[in-house]
């Protein structure tokens, strides 16, 4: 009895542990080993099999590599479908993600060998380049997912995103009343700072963290420090700027975390279209 | 210390009601209970929630009295400080208490805020998606652009074009739009003009380029052998290739012996390369095991396994066709000529002395005095008696009326007979002064010689010891008359290969052809395999100063008949010009 209970405990522990294992380390790097084996096998085949008249996509080995590559690309792109299907079944989303990452990387080998290193300005190379871009953005995604969340949490300083916005609103209300004694020019500067959208700035500003048209910064530059009211407004504007800096820090990390998907996803769909054009055109002009 | 408490409320109509009261005390308590200095009737607020008092450092200290914290400048804390110079905002339930200094007093402004229903929406601003175009829209746009431009437009224009039967000259280019994006690489140099005219080779959709299409231009390309023999002689395909060809032929591809399986295009702007050694040895290495009736010996490497040369030669006098020597045999050539090469090449012999004395030679004879290369640099032009022999072996028969020399015509015995007859009846010195016969005009002339003389002269010339038999062999014609053996020499000795004499300019002729020691014309002076192997070994041999790795294509061509493959010059498998009728051919025809 005791041993059965012990086993049960062990099993549960194992399950609990596996819940916290990264998709990269899933099942002791099972998919990494599969991907490495696939790459090694294709390289060995390329080196050993005599492809006449020269290695390219049209030899039997080339067709084999192309078929493997096409199947992999279609399957890996189905991760987008799989992750939206939350239903029971003997499939693990973590395993899918792990396979997606590692087999995706092995596609560099399979795809490159399929080209036979023949590159040109055509639909075939377009598909190849799109595949490389998708893989590159995917690798970027894995790297930022592994490194950036820590800095995202450090930037938050125990504040939720809603609290950050609330803090800004609180500062804005104080600014509004504190700015009452100011003259026209300075009041206009404060109005501009208050009216500017919290999320002002495009994707580039978010990614770089540079906001050259920030109205709060401009108001700070234009504020006279003569009167007591101006000093108070300046102090509040500085608080506003610091609060904005925290929000923008969060925006920057979030943008760095998310930007790859805006390339990865559309290019994946473009890649599937280019693959269709590649396969059909090759056999259309056989 | 004075606290100025300002409460801002709104009437149902939206009008603002402001009430001020002054509390003169050192600290303030805020909560839901009525005894607090500021009473907030809000269930989210504790009975006694927060105390505000002046701290020692001049700031206001705000402390939570219970376990529940409060909002200070948007952050939830249980204690905090408000600088009097900048002020601060305390959030308790729906109430916002702005704390700031006004004059000497501390102003606490209380207002109610509506619960922010848009807060969730505001949080969306944190996502990058709020400033970038929609991923799905971008995906559809890119995919649609690729599918339309790179697939649908070429396919549609291909299907809607007016097909032309064959258009190698590119007279109807650009019928298929944007199919340049489909090319897998530039065309070879000879096909470059077809670069914008894909449909001239890719005629039908989903149909591999057919032999018919290739042959519509390359009609004169010879076959290597008949297709069934090629198939029988080919080694079995590798399992991978076999599967590919099975699928390919099932889908209408023309099998591994079709044009395109060797001539793969779109490999860049290059000259089509000759097949490598393996290309030939795949079949010819063990050809006899598959083609049991073949006359060809196995070959796979010039240095290691190549059959002995079998030059073509005339094995009997006056034969209609040359025969090929048996491997390793020492052929006796029956050309019908007498020609001791050694006599002519001996630098101290009579021939040399004669040549030195003649202005056109001025030195002992050299090979090139008689033998000159043809334009293809492979074979030699026919040696003409008039050009090469007559300088010494004169056929001058007398002085001509104009002060020159008359000579016997060479080449045909009938011409010779006529010339000899003319000599016999030619003008002779007058024996008496000219006289006119009565009743006749013109000079009187009479030949009192015997009419048979001319025939005796011809017979003398043709029989042993006569002028003709210096070089020719005497024989008898069908009616027993004196005649000469026809001269038979093949146009090429090594008929299945190419030997570029131009590439061997640095060698002396006698390095390979033992002409200087050959005493009779019956010696066939074609070098053997061994002498070639002094320099030429198979393609896998290591190149040194003396060893030239040589693949099959250096001497052989695939499509027959054809010229020699060359990296420059005319097309690899051009059909050589028809051989001009030679003396040998005339003679052979004249005397069957």
Q: Residue B78 falls within a domain, yes or no?
A: yes
Domain boundary residue, one of B56, B85, B114? B114
Question: Residue B41 belongs to a domain with what CATH number?
Answer: 2.60.200.20
Q: Mean pLDDT over residues B482-509, rounded?
A: 87
The mean predicted confidence, pLDDT, of chain B is 83
- Residue A286 structure tokens: 């056989």
According to the model, what pLDDT value does residue B591 have?
37
B-chain residues within 8 Å CB-CB of A177? 98, 100, 109
According to the model, what pLDDT value does residue B217 have?
83
| Residue B6 touches partner A, C-beta closer than 8 Å | no
pTM higher than 0.80 for the full model?
no
Regarding whether B96 and B37 lie in a shared domain, the answer is yes
- Separation CA B299–CA B277 (nearest Å): 10
Residue A105 in this model has a pLDDT that exceeds 50: yes
Q: Residue B165 falls within a domain, yes or no?
A: yes
Regarding whether B96 and B10 lie in a shared domain, the answer is yes
Q: Mean pLDDT over residues B443-452, rounded?
A: 52
- Separation CA A144–CA B413 (nearest Å): 101
Q: Mean pLDDT over residues B308-313, rounded?
A: 91
Residue B165 in this model has a pLDDT that exceeds 80: no
Q: Nearest CB to A60: which of B138, B205, B243? A: B243
- Separation CA B497–CA B554 (nearest Å): 9
Q: Which residue has the tokens 């009097």?
A: B84
Q: Residue B218 falls within a domain, yes or no?
A: yes
* Lowest-confidence segment of A244-253, B221-230, B323-332, B450-459 by average pLDDT: B450-459
CA B41 → CA A77, B36, B48, B67, B69, distances in Å?
57, 11, 12, 19, 17
B-chain residues within 8 Å CB-CB of A199? 125-126, 130-131
Domain boundary residue, one of B84, B114, B144? B114
According to the model, what pLDDT value does residue A12 have?
77
Q: Residue B110 falls within a domain, yes or no?
A: yes
- Separation CA B537–CA B304 (nearest Å): 8
Q: Mean pLDDT over residues A41-64, rounded?
A: 88
Closest Cα partner for B496 from B231, B284, B291?
B284
Beta-carbon separation of A177 and B100 below 8 A? yes
Question: Mutate which of B6, B93, B159, B182 to test chain A, going by most A C-beta atoms within 10 A?
Answer: B182
The mean predicted confidence, pLDDT, of chain A is 90
Closest Cα partner for A218 from A198, A242, A190, A244?
A190
- From the CA of B470, how many Å to the nearest CA of chain A? 59
Name the residue ranges covered by the structural domains of chain A.
Answer: 29-118, 145-286
Rounded to 10°, the helix A184-195/A161-178 angle is: 160
A-chain residues within 8 Å CB-CB of B71? 166, 170
Q: Residue B262 falls within a domain, yes or no?
A: yes
| DSSP output for B77-92 | ESEEEE-TTT-EEEEE
Domain extent at residue B190 = 161-273
Regarding whether B79 and B17 lie in a shared domain, the answer is yes
Regarding whether B165 and B109 lie in a shared domain, the answer is no
Name residues whose C-beta falls within 8 Å of residue A84's C-beta, 6 or more positions apart in sequence.
Answer: none
Beta-carbon separation of A254 and B128 below 8 A? yes
Under the banding of pLDDT at 50, 70 and 90, the label for residue A39 is very high
Minimum Cα–Cα distance from B210: chain A residue: A286
Is ipTM > 0.95 here?
no
Q: Bigger pLDDT: B452 or B475?
A: B475
Q: Residue B226 falls within a domain, yes or no?
A: yes
Domain boundary residue, one of B273, B303, B323? B273
DSSP single-letter state for residue A144: H
Q: Mean pLDDT over residues B511-526, rounded?
A: 90
Q: Residue B353 falls within a domain, yes or no?
A: no
Beta-carbon separation of B139 and A269 below 8 A? yes
CA B551 → CA B275, B477, B495, B556, distances in Å?
9, 49, 18, 9
Count of domains for chain B: 2
Regarding whether B69 and B167 lie in a shared domain, the answer is no
Q: Residue B358 falls within a domain, yes or no?
A: no
What share of chain A has pLDDT > 90, as a percent? 59
What share of chain A has pLDDT > 70, as a percent? 97
Name residues whose C-beta falls within 8 Å of residue A141's C-beta, 6 or more positions apart in sequence.
Answer: A260, A261, A264
pLDDT per position as a tens digit, B338-365: 899 999 999 888 888 989 988 888 899 9
Residue A1 in this model has a pLDDT that exceeds 60: no
């Amino acid at each position: 009895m005791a041993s059965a209970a012990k086993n049960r405990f062990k099993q549960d522990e194992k399950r609990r542990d596996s819940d916290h294992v990264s998709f990269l380390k899933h099942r002791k790097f099972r998919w990494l080993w599969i991907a490495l084996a696939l790459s090694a096998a294709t390289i060995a085949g390329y080196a050993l099999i005599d492809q006449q008249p020269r290695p390219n996509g049209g030899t039997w080995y080339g067709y084999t590599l192309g078929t493997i590559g096409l199947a992999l690309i279609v399957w890996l792109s189905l991760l987008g479908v799989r992750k939206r299907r939350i239903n029971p079944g003997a499939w693990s989303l973590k395993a899918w993600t792990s396979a997606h990452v590692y087999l995706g990387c092995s596609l560099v080998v399979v795809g490159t060998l399929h080209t036979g290193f023949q590159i040109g300005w055509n639909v075939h190379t377009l598909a190849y380049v799109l595949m490389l871009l998708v893989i590159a953005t995917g690798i970027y995604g894995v790297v930022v997912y592994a490194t950036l969340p820590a800095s995202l949490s450090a930037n938050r300083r125990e504040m939720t995103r809603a609290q950050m916005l609330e803090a800004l609103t609180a500062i804005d209300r104080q600014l509004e009343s504190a700015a009452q004694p100011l003259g026209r020019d300075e009041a206009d500067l404060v109005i501009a700072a208050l009216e500017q959208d919290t999320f002002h700035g495009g994707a580039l500003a978010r990614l770089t963290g540079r906001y050259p048209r920030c109205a709060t910064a401009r108001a700070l530059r234009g504020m006279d420090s003569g009167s007591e009211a101006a000093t108070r407004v300046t102090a509040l504007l500085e608080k506003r700027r610091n609060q904005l800096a925290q929000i923008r820090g969060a925006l920057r990390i979030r943008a760095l975390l998310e930007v790859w998907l805006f390339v990865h996803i559309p290019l994946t769909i473009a890649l599937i279209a280019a693959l269709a054009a590649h396969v059909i055109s090759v056999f259309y002009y056989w | 210390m004075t606290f100025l408490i300002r409460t801002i409320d709104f009437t149902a109509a939206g009008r603002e009601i402001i009430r001020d009261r002054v509390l003169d005390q050192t600290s303030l308590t805020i909560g839901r209970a009525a005894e607090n200095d500021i009473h907030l009737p809000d269930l989210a607020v504790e009975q006694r929630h927060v105390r505000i008092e002046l701290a020692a450092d001049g700031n206001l200290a705000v402390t939570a009295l219970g376990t529940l914290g409060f909002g200070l400048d948007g952050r939830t804390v249980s204690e905090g400080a408000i600088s009097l110079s900048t002020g601060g905002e305390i959030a308790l339930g729906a109430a916002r208490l702005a704390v700031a200094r006004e004059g000497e007093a501390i102003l606490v402004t209380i207002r109610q805020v509506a619960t922010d229903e848009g807060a969730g929406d505001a949080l969306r601003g944190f996502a990058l998606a709020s400033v970038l175009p929609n991923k799905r829209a971008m995906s559809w746009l890119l995919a649609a652009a690729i599918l339309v431009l790179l697939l649908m437009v070429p396919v549609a224009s291909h299907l809607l074009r007016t097909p032309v039967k064959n258009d190698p000259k590119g007279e109807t280019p650009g019928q298929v739009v944007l199919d340049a994006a489909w090319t897998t690489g530039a065309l070879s140099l000879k096909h470059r003009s077809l670069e914008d005219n894909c449909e001239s080779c890719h005629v039908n959709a989903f149909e591999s380029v057919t032999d018919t299409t290739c042959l519509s231009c390359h009609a004169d390309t010879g076959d290597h052998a008949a297709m069934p023999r090629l198939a029988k002689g080919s080694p079995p395909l590798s399992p991978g290739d076999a599967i590919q060809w099975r699928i390919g032929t099932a889908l209408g591809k023309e099998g591994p012996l079709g044009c395109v399986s060797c001539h793969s295009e779109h490999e860049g702007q290059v000259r089509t390369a000759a097949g490598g050694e393996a290309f030939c040895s795949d079949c010819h290495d063990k050809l006899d095991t598959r083609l049991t009736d073949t006359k060809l010996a196995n070959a796979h490497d010039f240095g290691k396994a190549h059959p002995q040369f079998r030059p073509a030669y005339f094995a009997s006098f006056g034969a209609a066709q040359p025969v090929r020597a048996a491997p390793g045999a020492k052929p006796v050539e029956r050309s019908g000529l007498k020609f001791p090469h050694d006599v002519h090449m001996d630098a101290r012999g009579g021939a040399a002395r004669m040549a030195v004395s003649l202005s056109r030679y001025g030195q002992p004879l050299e090979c090139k005095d008689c033998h000159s290369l043809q334009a293809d640099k492979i074979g030699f032009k026919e040696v003409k008696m008039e050009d090469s022999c007559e300088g010494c072996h004169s056929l001058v028969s007398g002085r001509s009326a104009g002060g020159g020399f008359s000579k016997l015509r060479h080449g045909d015995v009938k011409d010779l007979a006529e010339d000899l007859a003319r000599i016999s009846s030619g003008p002779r010195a007058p024996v008496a002064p000219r006289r006119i016969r009565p009743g006749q005009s013109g000079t009187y002339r009479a030949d009192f010689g015997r009419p048979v003389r001319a025939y005796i002269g011809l017979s003398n010339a043709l029989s042993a010891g006569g002028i003709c038999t210096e070089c020719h062999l005497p024989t008898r014609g069908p009616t027993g008359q004196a005649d000469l053996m026809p001269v038979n020499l093949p146009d090429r000795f090594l008929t299945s290969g190419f030997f570029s004499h131009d590439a061997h300019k640095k060698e002396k002729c006698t390095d390979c052809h033992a002409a200087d020691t050959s005493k009779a014309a019956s010696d066939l002076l074609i070098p053997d395999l061994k002498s070639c192997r002094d320099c030429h070994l198979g393609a896998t041999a290591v190149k040194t100063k003396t060893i030239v790795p040589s693949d099959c294509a250096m001497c052989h061509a695939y499509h027959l008949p054809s010229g020699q493959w060359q990296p420059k010059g005319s097309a690899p498998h051009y059909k050589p010009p028809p051989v001009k009728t030679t003396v040998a051919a005339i003679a052979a025809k004249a005397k069957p």
